[in-house]
Amino acid sequence: MTLTSMTPTSQAHEISAASRLEHVRYAIRDLACVADEVVKQGHKVLPLNVGDPLNFDFQTPPHIIEAVYKAMRDGKNGYSPSSGIPEALQAIRGEAARKGITTVHDVFVTSGVSETVDLCLSALVNPGEDVLTPSPDYPLYSAVLCKLGIRLNAYDLNEDDAWQPELADIERKVTPRTRGIVLINPNNPTGSLCTRQMLEQVAELAHRHNLIVFSDEIYDKLILDGTPHIAFASVAPDVPCVTFGGMSKNYLVPGWRIGWGIVSGDAAAVKAYTDGVNRLLRARLCANHPEQYAIKPALEGPQDHLIEVQRKLRSRRDLTQKWCESTPRVSCVAPRGAFYAYPRIDIPESDEVFVKELIRQKHVMVVHGSGFGQKPGTQHFRIVFLPDEKTLTKAYAGIAEFMRERYGNA
């Protein structure tokens, strides 16, 4: 039978997507359609929207590329054990010890922290339950919860307190059906760091309400002000916690898709949950196999690249901050980690319109604050300050000019 003879004469019924997906958004990449329009008109768009250091002047440390190449040549191209290869798991346990996490119950390797987020949330929540997520947050958390059909329960970060979590808001939003709380530290999109006192207060609250803490520390080696990063699990050894870490940012290989989870806390309290995570790990077979051979040399080998990365990021952060301070209608809490700034803007239209028009008129792509969450009545945009100083200076001049032309000076 030919395809033509199978095709019904009446119009085919549309295959609809699950209604759960209605609220799944990923503003960072959703803007690509607007950028495509501009590119089709022959312009080059400067991508200050995606946190990929490899788009700019950052290079993967060669010794970890060699490790993956060798693994491939040595035939490590089949499936790996579901939780990861033994030498990577041992190296991650070593990393946990260096982070001061003393009550490690389990570790596992995933296809990027993105998969850790998906697995850890999926393994926790039943219909009708919820997880507290920061606002603003990295949008994958809300996207995964929407996919699972879970009601969003966002708590505010306080811009007037260097974007620290607002404890009173968390307290207000905990319900008997709340199962966990997400911390992103250093934070994307704000670049803020949690203070030790804040971590202790979150630990006390999590303990009191029987919550598991998901501490996303994917940027823990990209601290820009010389202070040490404090792992949540190191200040709260008994609180059930999964610390998320990975290779994408610290080791400059976002395309390899390697992340991990470190389960810590009271062993009896986390046992059933850990069994659930491992069931999901087995069901999806394994993370990328040859890339796992880079984990040990990355975590235990030379860390020299980090000195250069931090030097560049510090200089670019300072330039960004200076621009924010000297530009009418713009203000910004100085980022202390990662490579994002989240300036507040005083404009008479939505930040989504601002961002789309900025792409169309000046070919600079940033992401609107409403794509991450923000308090009603406030508007922001997120800048990725990875490009070199010359490129950033040009981009910031374009943004300032756009604001002057569109809104006039405040």
Kindly tell me which of 246 and 261 has the beta carbon lying closer to ligand PLP.
Answer: 246
Beta carbon of residue 109, minimum distance to ligand PLP (angstroms, whole number): 11
The alpha carbon of 268 is separated from its chain's Cα centroid by a whole number of angstroms, namely 30
What is the enclosing helix (H) or strand (E) of 93?
helix 86-98
Give the largest Cα separation in the chain, rounded: 71
State how beta strands 130-135 and 178-184 pair.
parallel
Kindly tell me which of 222 and 403 has the beta carbon lying closer to ligand PLP.
Answer: 222
Beta carbon of residue 142, minimum distance to ligand PLP (angstroms, whole number): 12
Beta carbon of residue 71, minimum distance to ligand PLP (angstroms, whole number): 19
Kindly tell me which of 110 and 327 has the beta carbon lying closer to ligand PLP.
Answer: 110
Beta carbon of residue 115, minimum distance to ligand PLP (angstroms, whole number): 7
- Nearest residue to ligand PLP, by Cβ distance, number only: 112
> Which residue type is seen at 376?
P
Chain position carrying tokens 């958004």: 25
Beta carbon of residue 218, minimum distance to ligand PLP (angstroms, whole number): 5
Kindly tell me which of 214 and 323 has the beta carbon lying closer to ligand PLP.
Answer: 214
Provide Rg for the chain, Cα atoms.
22
Beta carbon of residue 209, minimum distance to ligand PLP (angstroms, whole number): 23
Kindly tell me which of 116 and 321 has the beta carbon lying closer to ligand PLP.
Answer: 116
SS3 state at 116: helix
∠ at Cα 109 (277, 148), nearest 5°? 40
Chain position carrying tokens 């945009």: 381
Choose among 350, 365, 396: nearest CA to 36: 365
Kindly tell me which of 216 and 351 has the beta carbon lying closer to ligand PLP.
Answer: 216
SS3 state at 273: helix
Residue 79 dihedral angles phi and psi, to the nearest 5°: -70, 150
Kindly tell me which of 246 and 297 has the beta carbon lying closer to ligand PLP.
Answer: 246
Choose among 264, 173, 179, 260: nearest CA to 216: 260
Beta carbon of residue 219, minimum distance to ligand PLP (angstroms, whole number): 7
Chain position carrying tokens 């966002």: 154
Kindly tell me which of 119 and 174 has the beta carbon lying closer to ligand PLP.
Answer: 119
Beta carbon of residue 11, minimum distance to ligand PLP (angstroms, whole number): 40
| Interacting residues with ligand PLP (CB under 6 A) | 51, 112-114, 138, 184, 188, 216, 218, 246, 248, 254, 259
For 44-55, the DSSP string reads PPEE-SS--GGG
Half-sphere exposure of 207 (CA within 13 A, CB side): 14
Q: Are 314 and 101 in contact (CB under 8 A)?
A: no
